[in-house]
Amino acid sequence: MRTDLLHLDVRKRPARLRFEGRVLFLVDDAELMRRQLAGEDLDLETARRVGLRDQISTDEITPAYICYYFDETLGDFPYLGLKAGGEFPVGRGSVRRGGFVCSVSGKRRGKGSSREQSPYAELMAGIRVVIAENIERIYNENCQNLGILTSTDFSLIDRIRRGEEIPLDAFTNDVDAITREIIEYGGLFEYNVARLQGKVRLPRIESQRPGAPAKRPMTIAEKIFASHWVVDAARGEFGVPWVQPGDSGFVRTDWRFSHEYVSPMAAIFFEQKLGEDARVTEPESIIMFRDHLTYLHEVMPRERVQMGLLDVARQLKDKQEAFAKKQGVIYYGERLGLRLGSEAICHSKMLESYAEPGQLIVGTDSHTPHSGAIGCVAFGVGTTAIFNSWITKDVRVAVPPSFKVVVRGRKPDNVTAKDFMLEILRHPYIRDGHAIGQIIEYAGEAVEALSVDERATMTNMAAEVGAFTGIVAPDAKTVDFLVSERGMDRARAERLCEGLFSDPDAEYVKIIEIDASTLRPMVALPGDPGNGLYVDELGDEPVRIDVAYAGSCTAGKKEDMDMYAAVLRDARTQGLRVHPDVKMYIQCGSQEVRQYCEEKGYLALFEEMGASFIEPGCGACIAAGPGTSARPDEVTISSQNRNFPGRSGPGRLYLASPYTVAASAVAGFIVEWSPGRPIPRLETAGV
């Protein structure tokens, strides 16, 4: 137990609360948004008639460049990226000046990035209550951890507006016991202090109660949760016979990682709450990465540089690096000199070097499920959760329900795991928000045929599904990966995979079946990864492109590089290069992948074919590196994971597989690739 927390005085909130302030409806009408910000109050009926905004991502709450700030200054910026009627009506400071205490929207609020800057910006602007039709898991947890109250009960709106006293249990009726106490204590840190001081006790789950059955059929994810379940942290007791969906508690982590977008704010919270001399628990299992903003200086618009944002962003790096050095944690930074770049993107390095089957991993990024490719439960957490885990080494969970996607049959040669995901993302179960917060388990012979790299594309994009995490049961290919890529002893690799499968009668809330043999290369139209179409359904008019970006954690792996190389070699045999009207960027996920490219001769091939190779980093998919659009009329095709408005510059962003991105770069317009078939070619602009 950490004795440095015993002296802190934490108390519960009052049982009844009164809110003083206005209600802001996030509607799809720019003029009504501006009128609210100027002082006009809107009612719910009007807001619904005009249209409450659905699918609000954290990119819209706080665009990527806003996240360079990591203190109360964030209160100037909530909703600056919110698009309403095609416009961006919210200006700096307008929410704070408006005196709003409650923010209301429609379906899937807070999807996308796990950035806690979003609810923290809302909190610092005065927002104390968030109401929406449904709320994404990480965003919702971040709100609760910070002390923001959330609800799906729209009847609270008028009560808040009238200044009525509202029972605290109006916000805790439908949550598990631990979440209820976190809300009652006003945040996760305060609750954890109370937990370590013995003021609260973890509820016993069903399998711990007298007379409980000895066994229960479990999914692979449930088995991992059960083995990591915290029984008594102070006495080092972990593991229960079984868990089931809805069980609420804490789980012991094997790895905790963060990057420079999040570590500085977490470090500030840590030092403010515990003092400058406080030390993290087990630094050898904490990893920090400098990967998100390595190339920011190359793409930041001049006006933002003049605002001082580049200097602010550099402070993120400096704060993380100083904290990592002080705490003695594992740190991956930059490579300087002639080859500027990160040592690795966090997700790439976790899978390459650290994750093992059966482990439980948390990271401050929504794409943490990447490591689920080898049978880990890996999920994203926010700033407050990660800073608390530095103290306790555990994180809270409510065991989610699982659904299974079974991909059967044999896929065509030009169809990839990315195409699988674009097909899955447009399924009504996902598009309508039913998968939010659930675990997606991928299975079927088409998934089993995929390499670990390709499986990682699928688990990585569990974030776009809105899922808690994604996972693939380990098998012989997993063992081969651990042996060949890690140098692990085969016997040990096989032992790690033992028992890591879902029981035949495990429970799933939904099973989706897909026939891989019927799939064709896909593309997601701008605005959302769920806007999937087959490439051949785009219409007769070619979709000209200006930028082709091939990379990111989703598509910067070794096998992705094989795909880019296959297309470009094919183009070379046809006497073609990257189209003169297109800028193509190829970015790897780690220095290990770069070395692989060098050994395979890919670096020379990419240069010969007119593509620019970039050292590791994840800048383009957060508008912080080469590969972003510069103007609203520019069109980008990208192998990254998401294309929310403004995610990668002001232009239109299409998502596709590595094959399709590379072929489109050569063609000058969006086109699928098939081995041995000629790649079509547009004339250059103006010819």
Specify which residues 544 forms β-bridges with: 669
CATH class of 524-667: alpha beta
| % residues pLDDT > 90 (the chain) | 81
Beta strands in 59-175 (DSSP E): 100-104, 129-131, 149-151, 165-167
Q: Which is nearest to 296 in space by CA: 267, 261, 264?
A: 261
CATH of 20-162, one of 3.55.40.10, 1.10.3720.10, 3.40.50.620, 3.20.19.10: 3.20.19.10
Quick one: tokens of 230?
Answer: 């915290």
Distance separating alpha carbons of residues 19 and 40, to the nearest angstrom: 19
Asked, colleague to colleague, whether 20-162 and 221-519 share their fold, the answer is no
Q: List Cα–Cα distances, 414 to 186, 321, 516, 517, 524, in angstroms.
A: 52, 42, 12, 11, 17
Position 6 pLDDT exceeds 80: no
* Residue 375 contacts residue 472 (beta carbons within 8 Å): yes
Distance separating alpha carbons of residues 473 and 445, to the nearest angstrom: 12
DSSP-derived secondary structure for 222-248: HHHHHHHBEEETTTTEE--S---TT-E
| Mean local confidence (pLDDT), 1-6 | 68
CATH of 221-519, one of 1.10.10.60, 1.10.260.40, 3.40.640.10, 3.30.499.10: 3.30.499.10
Distance separating alpha carbons of residues 642 and 462, to the nearest angstrom: 11
Half-sphere exposure for 331 (CA within 13 Å, toward CB): 19
pLDDT (0 to 100) of residue 131: 98
Position 283 pLDDT exceeds 90: yes
Distance separating alpha carbons of residues 511 and 33, to the nearest angstrom: 41
Q: Which is nearest to 91 in space by CA: 100, 82, 99, 103?
A: 82
Distance separating alpha carbons of residues 36 and 15, to the nearest angstrom: 31
Q: Classify 147 as helix, strand or coil.
A: coil
Domain locations in the chain? 20-162, 221-519, 524-667
Specify which residues 104 forms β-bridges with: 25, 131
Is pTM beyond 0.75? Reply is yes
Position 686 pLDDT exceeds 60: no
Query: 338: pLDDT confidence band, cut at 50, 70 and 90?
Result: low
pLDDT (0 to 100) of residue 336: 65
Per-residue pLDDT tens for 27-81?
999 999 999 999 999 999 999 999 999 999 998 999 888 888 888 899 999 999 9
Lowest mean pLDDT, pick from 111-115, 131-135, 142-146, 437-441:
111-115
Position 234 pLDDT exceeds 90: no
Query: 619: pLDDT confidence band, cut at 50, 70 and 90?
Result: confident
Query: 3: pLDDT confidence band, cut at 50, 70 and 90?
Result: low
Distance separating alpha carbons of residues 410 and 576, to the nearest angstrom: 31
DSSP-derived secondary structure for 6-33: TT----PPPSEEE--SEEEE-BS-HHHH
Quick one: tokens of 665?
Answer: 């770069």
Per-residue pLDDT tens for 358-377?
999 999 998 999 999 999 99
Q: List Cα–Cα distances, 2 to 8, 197, 224, 267, in angstroms.
A: 12, 9, 26, 18
Quick one: tokens of 112?
Answer: 């996308």
Query: 687: pLDDT confidence band, cut at 50, 70 and 90?
Result: very low
Give the number of other Cβ atoms within 10 Å of residue 539's Cβ. Answer: 8
Lowest mean pLDDT, pick from 264-268, 442-446, 660-664:
264-268
Q: List Cα–Cα distances, 353 to 326, 340, 480, 592, 674, in angstroms.
A: 24, 22, 14, 10, 34
Average pLDDT, the chain: 94
Position 546 pLDDT exceeds 90: yes
Per-residue pLDDT tens for 589-610?
999 999 999 999 999 999 999 9
| Mean local confidence (pLDDT), 453-468 | 96
Per-residue pLDDT tens for 134-166?
999 889 999 999 999 999 999 999 999 999 999
| Mean local confidence (pLDDT), 115-137 | 95
Distance separating alpha carbons of residues 225 and 496, to the nearest angstrom: 16
| Mean local confidence (pLDDT), 371-386 | 94
Give the distance from CA 57 to its chain's centroid.
11
Specify which residues 523 forms β-bridges with: 533, 656
Specify which residues 167 forms β-bridges with: 16
